[in-house]
């Protein structure tokens, strides 16, 4: 696997090294050893699949609060997404900054998002499926989020938003001077 750290410390775009032959290809998408070597949380507690019918759907920006913070490894297995991570770590020099990456079923890229980040994505194609690996179990009492269009982050989404859950659309706007890290 090829690990490329983004401008936000701890967030990586990971590309599998594809071995092709007449049958197609083979690639490794996760090994604890390689994640450990890059200082990433390699614990795997839960895997989820998300399917989205329509292009322009936004899911996010979600996180889990302490003590159940989670790292995520996100891969698009069908269709395409624009995947986004926002740094909410209180001690980070890049706090409130974000990074986005296009993940598609064709490019096979993954985005690693460490603890302390909000995460979300927008679908770029109809019938898009995403596979998540998380370092922590889901704890509903620890869930939180920030608004997908909060001016404090100045996020730029590639498409107009066509579908969004009420919860995601109505998170309160943050006060940059008074936001606890997740």
Q: What pLDDT, in 10s, does the model give residues 16-55?
A: 999 999 999 999 999 999 999 999 999 999 999 999 999 9
Produce one character per residue of 134-161: b if its CB has 16 or more CB atoms within 10 Å, e if not. bbbeeeeebeebbbbbbeebebebeeee
Q: Is 62 labeled as catalytic in the residue annotation?
A: yes
Q: Hey, where are the domains in the chain?
A: 2-169
Query: Which residue among the candidates 108, 119, 132, 139 is catalytic per the annotation?
Result: 132
Question: For 94-118, what is the mean pLDDT?
Answer: 97
Neighbour tally for 34: CB within 10 Å: 14
Residue 167: predicted pLDDT: 94
Q: Is 119 labeled as catalytic in the residue annotation?
A: no
Residue 103: predicted pLDDT: 98
Reported in sequence order, the residue ranges of 79-126 that DSSP labels E, i.e. its strands, are: 80-87, 98-104, 110-113, 117-123
Distance CA 152, CA 146 (A): 10
> pLDDT tens-digit profile of 123-182?
999 999 999 999 999 999 999 999 999 999 999 999 999 999 999 999 988 876 555 556
Q: Mapping DSSP to helix (H, G, I), strand (E, B) and coil, where does residue 5 land?
A: strand
Tokens, residue 130: 């995403």
User: In sequence order, what are the residues at sequence separation of 6 or more whose Cβ sits closer than 8 angstroms to the Cβ of residue 77?
Assistant: 49, 105, 129, 130, 131
CATH C-level class of 2-169: mainly beta
Query: Which residue among the candidates 62, 82, 119, 121 is catalytic per the annotation?
Result: 62
């Amino acid at each position: 696997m090829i690990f490329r750290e983004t401008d936000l410390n701890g967030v990586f775009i990971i590309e599998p090294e594809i071995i092709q032959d007449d049958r197609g290809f083979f690639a490794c998408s996760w090994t604890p050893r390689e994640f450990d070597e890059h200082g990433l949380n390699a614990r795997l507690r839960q895997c989820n699949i998300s399917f989205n019918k329509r292009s322009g759907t936004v899911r996010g920006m979600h996180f889990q609060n302490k003590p159940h913070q989670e790292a995520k490894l996100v891969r698009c297995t069908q269709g395409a997404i624009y995947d986004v991570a926002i740094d909410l770590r209180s001690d980070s020099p890049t706090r409130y900054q974000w990074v986005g990456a296009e993940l598609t079923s064709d490019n096979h890229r993954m985005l690693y998002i460490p603890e302390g980040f909000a995460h979300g994505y927008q679908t770029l194609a109809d019938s898009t499926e995403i596979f998540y690996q998380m370092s922590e179990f889901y704890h509903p009492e620890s869930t939180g989020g920030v608004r997908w269009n909060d001016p404090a982050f100045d996020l730029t989404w590639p498409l107009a938003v066509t579908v969004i859950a009420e919860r995601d659309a109505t998170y309160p706007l943050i006060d940059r001077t008074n936001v606890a890290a997740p």
